Amino acid sequence: MSLSMARAEPDTGNGFVKSTGARMREYRAYSRIWVQYPAVARVHGTEAVIEATVINLSGNGLRLRMNQSHDLGTLVSVTMQCEASHIVSSAEVVRVHEADGADAYEVACRFVD
């Protein structure tokens, strides 16, 4: 899926985006796009490598679907395959919840330097 085909949430006209998710209504500084990119997450300070799927991206972070939960504040390095190139970023886990399906978690991360 190309970024141009991804679904972005609507802009409210003031530079913020209102989430259209059924679970939560909030204003966001960046639009999200829904994607399905294969990824590998490496937990900083360990040798742990976890296969994951990036399910959404924004200018501030990303959400991963994976088979492991992580503590809030955990730092990870994420390598995702987008189109014909790899993108590597560092991120901090800010939210985790069980996803629909067996032994799956959605892990929300914000980008860090």
CA distance 15 to 59: 13
Residue 41: phi and psi, rounded to 5, are -110, 130
**Superfamily grouping for domain 32-112:** predicted glycosyltransferase like domains (2.40.10.220)
pLDDT category of residue 99 using cuts at 50, 70 and 90: confident
- What's the pTM value of the predicted model, to 2 decimals? 0.71
- pLDDT for residue 79: 94
* Average pLDDT of the residues of the chain: 80
Domain segments of the chain as ranges? 32-112
| Structure token pair of residue 104 | 């799956």
Task: Write out pLDDT tens, residues 29-73.
Answer: 778 889 999 999 999 999 889 999 999 999 899 999 999 989 999
pLDDT category of residue 28 using cuts at 50, 70 and 90: low
